[in-house]
């Protein structure tokens, strides 16, 4: 193949730019797999004890949908059950990030043009990106297999685990290489590559939970993530699936290079989409919601899925959490007073509340991106008052987080109705529990607003504050921190609902803090300069 000259210098450039991203991701993945395997092995010193929870796991479609089926009734399989598929998804994400970064992103930013004018072959940038992605996948898979062996798992199974990851990871190197040729934008590439990943995940989930004689089971075999899953490390150890993965990898790469040869630099294979010639946006609120539309839809879909998983898991929780240590841990985390199922719900809902707070913060901190991007001044030099513009971001943030928690509660309640037999009661209890977390979520929104209004350059600190709140609220008791310290987190003051008592006074105080923070932030914004973009 010609047009490859300059691939090696480009590869070195790309490797240098990713010298933190790739090693850190790889080590994190190895650590998660090996670490959790070791913890599981330590928890079940004898094999017999391991088999009881295994049967529950095998019988539970909700868990299979999330983690894939368990490969065998062995301790090794239990030890890696949660990490094989989820870890592979993260490996696919790494492959996608690396390939996209050095292809379409570079091209869109115009940096590839600068390089392309030098003594660089036309195919070299794609080749370099694919090589780097491939190396990242192979190295991570190899290290993970070695890590698994190191913590005492079966050798053959561990190699099969590496093979499964290679199959899935390399396929996404190929998928992203093709996706990068299709559209003009990095966003479009993300849409195709991540969309394909979501589709593959969903297909294998449907296949996995289908009845044994159902034709739907074929769906798993049609999904590249399914191929990796079917390698069944520590079970069947089907090494031959490596050939399927490599074949897909090769075919996708050939397709990517052919597509690249047929398009101009900067262009996509698909025509760029045009927008409407006339707009129906007529307010700053309309603009804000329009800009956040994609984000909001994504979050709501995620919370519906989360609600479905949490709700459907409840029935199995009783047996799932049969180890007294785990039950105790859950109780500590949720601080629950009710049944073990209620504790489970309270725990999940509190974690979801932290996630919702992340959406709230991202909606508020959008103002800073708009400001530094020079787009805020375009709006604020019209008849839109600053306070209204900022107030709208805050209100949308509060409403969206409330919507998420309601959504989670309703969906979980519907799914849980099968267990309780009383849909209205389940939905009511869980929706109420979701809503009870909002005061803490809104405090996070308030903190972000204060930072943006008074110290705009430190708006990003809101994320650090959220992480600190989360850590203090969820693990403060676990770590034995004094109540004064963990009490700094608004999440530490949330009632353990469902099952516990609603503390109205605390909720009122938290809402007052949130409102006070917002008022302070808006007042600060009214007084400060809007620097040039």
Residue numbers of the site for another protein (CB under 8 A)? 184-185, 272-284, 286-287, 290-291, 373-375, 377-386, 527, 529-533
Q: Residue 271 or residue 324: which is nearer to another protein going by CB?
A: 271
Query: Is it true that the peptide bond before 498 is cis, omega within 30 degrees of 0?
Result: yes
CA–CA separation, 406 and 408 (whole Å) = 5
Interaxial angle between packed helices 386-420 and 423-436, expressed in degrees from 0 to 180 and rounded to the nearest 10: 140
CA–CA separation, 292 and 361 (whole Å) = 13
Closest approach, Cβ 101 to another protein, in A, equals: 18
Closest approach, Cβ 271 to another protein, in A, equals: 12
Closest approach, Cβ 263 to another protein, in A, equals: 16
Those residues with Cβ within 8 angstroms of residue 512's Cβ, 6 or more apart along the chain or in another chain: none
- Give the number of other Cβ atoms within 10 Å of residue 36's Cβ: 17
Closest approach, Cβ 267 to another protein, in A, equals: 11
CA–CA separation, 311 and 420 (whole Å) = 11
No. of helices (H) and no. of strands (E), the chain: 24, 0
Q: Residue 35 or residue 531: which is nearer to another protein going by CB?
A: 531
Q: Residue 77 or residue 189: which is nearer to another protein going by CB?
A: 189
Q: Residue 82 or residue 386: which is nearer to another protein going by CB?
A: 386
Closest approach, Cβ 474 to another protein, in A, equals: 36
- CA neighbor of 438 nearest in space, from 467, 411, 400: 400
Q: Residue 286 or residue 418: which is nearer to another protein going by CB?
A: 286
Q: Is 306 exposed, middle or buried (0-12, 13-18, 19+ CB in 10 A)?
A: buried
Pick left, alpha or beta for residue 72 (phi over 0 → left; psi -120 to 50 → alpha; otherwise beta): beta
CA–CA separation, 112 and 265 (whole Å) = 9
φ and ψ at 507, to 5 degrees?
-60, -45
Q: Residue 373 or residue 460: which is nearer to another protein going by CB?
A: 373
Closest approach, Cβ 277 to another protein, in A, equals: 4
Q: Residue 324 or residue 383: which is nearer to another protein going by CB?
A: 383
Closest approach, Cβ 106 to another protein, in A, equals: 16
Those residues with Cβ within 8 angstroms of residue 424's Cβ, 6 or more apart along the chain or in another chain: none
Closest approach, Cβ 530 to another protein, in A, equals: 4
CA–CA separation, 390 and 481 (whole Å) = 37
Q: Residue 182 or residue 472: which is nearer to another protein going by CB?
A: 182
């Amino acid at each position: 193949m010609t047009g490859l000259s300059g691939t090696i210098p480009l590869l070195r450039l790309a490797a240098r730019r990713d010298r933190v991203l790739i090693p850190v991701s790889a080590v994190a993945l190895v650590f998660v797999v090996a670490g959790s395997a070791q913890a599981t092995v330590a928890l079940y010193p004898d094999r017999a004890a391991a088999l009881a929870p295994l049967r529950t796991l095998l019988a539970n479609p909700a868990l299979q949908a999330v983690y894939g089926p368990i490969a065998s009734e062995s301790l090794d399989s239990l030890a890696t059950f949660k990490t094989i598929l989820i870890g592979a998804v993260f490996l696919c994400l790494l492959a996608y990030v690396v390939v996209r970064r050095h292809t379409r992103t570079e091209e869109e930013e115009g940096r590839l043009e600068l390089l392309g004018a030098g003594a660089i072959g036309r195919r070299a940038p794609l080749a370099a990106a694919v090589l780097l992605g491939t190396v990242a996948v192979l190295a991570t898979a190899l290290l993970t297999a070695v890590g698994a062996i190191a913590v005492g798992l079966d050798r053959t199974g561990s190699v099969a685990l590496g093979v499964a990851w290679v199959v899935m990871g390399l396929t996404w190197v190929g998928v992203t290489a093709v996706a990068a040729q299709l559209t003009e934008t990095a966003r479009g590439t993300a849409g195709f590559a991540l969309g394909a990943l979501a589709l593959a995940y969903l297909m294998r989930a449907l296949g996995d939970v289908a009845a044994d004689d159902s034709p739907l089971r074929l769906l798993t075999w049609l999904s590249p993530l399914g191929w990796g899953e079917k390698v069944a490390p520590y079970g069947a150890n089907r090494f031959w699936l490596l050939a399927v993965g490599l074949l897909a990898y090769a075919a996708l790469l050939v397709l990517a290079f052919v597509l690249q040869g047929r398009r101009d630099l900067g262009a996509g294979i698909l025509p760029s989409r045009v927008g409407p010639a006339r707009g129906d946006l007529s307010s700053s609120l309309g603009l804000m919601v329009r800009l956040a539309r994609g984000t909001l839809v994504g979050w709501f879909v995620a919370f519906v899925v989360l609600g479905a998983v949490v709700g459907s898991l409840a029935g199995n929780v009783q047996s799932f959490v049969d180890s007294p240590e785990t039950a105790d841990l859950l109780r500590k985390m949720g601080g629950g007073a009710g049944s073990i199922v209620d504790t489970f719900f309270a725990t999940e809902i509190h974690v979801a509340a932290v996630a919702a707070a992340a959406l709230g913060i991202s909606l508020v901190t959008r103002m800073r991106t708009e400001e530094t991007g020079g787009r805020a001044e375009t709006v604020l030099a019209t008849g839109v008052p600053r306070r209204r513009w900022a107030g709208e971001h805050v209100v949308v943030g509060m409403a969206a987080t409330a919507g998420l928690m309601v959504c989670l509660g309703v969906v979980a309640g519907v799914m849980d109705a099968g267990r309780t037999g009383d849909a209205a009661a389940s939905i009511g209890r869980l929706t109420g529990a979701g809503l009870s977390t909002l005061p803490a979520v809104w405090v996070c929104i308030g903190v972000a607003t204060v930072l943006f209004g008074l110290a705009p350059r430190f708006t990003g600190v809101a994320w650090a504050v959220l992480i600190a709140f989360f850590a203090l609220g969820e693990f403060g008791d676990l770590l034995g921190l004094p109540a004064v310290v963990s009490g700094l987190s608004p999440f530490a003051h949330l009632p353990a609902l469902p099952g516990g008592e609603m503390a109205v006074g605390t909720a009122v105080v938290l809402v007052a803090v949130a409102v006070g923070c917002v008022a302070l932030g808006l007042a600060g914004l009214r007084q400060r300069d809007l620097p040039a973009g």
